[in-house]
C-alpha cells in the first residue's frame, strides 16, 4: 500500500530494520541444511536397521516435512517479518509499517515529540543499529527497535522537526503567522522560543 502524503509533505528516509536481526535465523538455516542433508542420507541408505525397511518412504516423507516446518518457523517467518517492516520518516511524521497480508501501522507526528532517546546494546553499537525511544510527554513513550544507523536517523528527525513551520508546533496547520506590531509581535516571538526550548529543538 502506497504511503499517502499530505500537501507539502515529502519522504526523508525509508528503510528496513537493521539486517543484524537475520543473523541468528541465517545461522539456524545453515545448521538445518547440514542436518537435513545428513538425515536424508541416513534414511535413504540401502541398509536400514532391521524392521525399518518397510517404513523407509514414510520416514523420508516425515523427515522432509519436519525440515520444511523448521525452515518456515525459524527462517522464512523471520525473513518475511524483516522484509515486511518499514521505517518511514517524512517531513511531518514517523511511521512504522509491518506485515504483508496483515499490516499494522504506527504513526507519530513530529509536532508531538518532546524528546528522542537512543538505546544501544554492545552489539548494536558495533553494528550501528539501535532503538529509538520517542517521548510524547505525560509518561507516554513509543519504541522503534533495530533502527539502522540510528544516530544518523535521529539527526534526520531533528532536522525535519527544525524545519517545521512555527505554527505547526501549536496547531499542526501549515501556515505562516500574520505579522503583528510592537509588543504583540515580541510576545509571539518569546512564546515560540519558549516552546522550542521545552521541546529541546534549539
Amino acid 130: pLDDT: 94
**3-class SS of residue 107:** strand
From 134, 129, 125, 133, select the one nearest 147 (Cα to Cα). Answer: 129
Amino acid 76: pLDDT: 95
| C-beta separation of 89 from 11 below 8 A | yes
Give the tens place of pLDDT for each residue, 157-200.
Answer: 999 999 988 765 554 444 444 444 544 444 434 444 444 444 44
Amino acid 102: pLDDT: 82
| C-beta separation of 152 from 131 below 8 A | no
DSSP letters spanning 21-41: GGHHHHHHHHHHHHHHHHHHH
* Weakly modelled stretches of the chain, pLDDT under 70: 1, 43, 45-56, 167-202
**3-class SS of residue 109:** strand
Amino acid 50: pLDDT: 63
Amino acid 61: pLDDT: 86
DSSP letters spanning 40-51: HHHHTSS-PPTT
Full-model pTM: 0.72
Helices (H), the chain: 23-43, 56-71, 77-83, 122-127, 150-162, 182-199
User: Distance between CA 116 and CA 158 in Å, rounded?
Assistant: 9
DSSP letters spanning 173-194: ---PPPP--HHHHHHHHHHHHH
Amino acid at each position: 500500500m502506497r504511503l499517502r502524503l499530505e500537501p507539502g509533505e515529502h519522504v526523508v528516509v525509508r528503510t528496513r530494520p537493521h539486517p543484524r536481526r537475520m543473523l541468528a535465523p541465517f545461522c539456524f538455516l545453515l545448521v538445518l541444511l547440514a542436518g537435513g542433508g545428513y538425515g536424508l542420507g541416513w534414511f535413504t541408505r540401502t541398509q536400514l536397521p532391521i524392521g525399518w525397511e518397510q517404513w523407509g518412504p514414510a520416514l523420508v516423507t516425515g523427515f522432509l516435512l519436519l525440515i520444511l516446518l523448521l525452515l518456515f518457523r525459524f527462517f522464512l517467518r523471520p525473513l518475511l517479518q524483516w522484509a515486511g517492516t518499514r521505517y518511514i520518516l517524512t517531513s511531518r511524521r514517523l511511521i512504522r509499517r509491518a506485515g504483508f497480508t496483515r499490516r499494522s501501522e504506527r504513526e507519530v507526528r513530529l509536532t508531538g515529540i518532546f524528546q528522542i532517546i537512543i538505546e544501544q546494546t554492545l552489539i548494536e553499537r558495533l553494528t550501528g543499529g539501535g532503538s529509538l525511544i520517542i517521548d510524547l510527554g505525560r509518561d507516554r513513550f513509543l519504541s522503534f527497535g533495530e533502527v539502522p544507523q540510528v544516530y544518523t536517523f535521529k539527526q534526520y528527525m531533528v532536522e525535519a522537526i527544525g524545519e517545521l513551520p512555527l505554527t505547526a508546533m501549536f496547531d499542526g496547520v501549515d501556515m505562516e503567522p500574520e505579522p503583528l506590531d510592537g509588543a504583540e509581535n515580541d510576545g509571539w516571538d518569546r512564546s515560540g522560543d519558549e516552546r522550542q526550548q521545552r521541546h529541546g529543538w534549539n
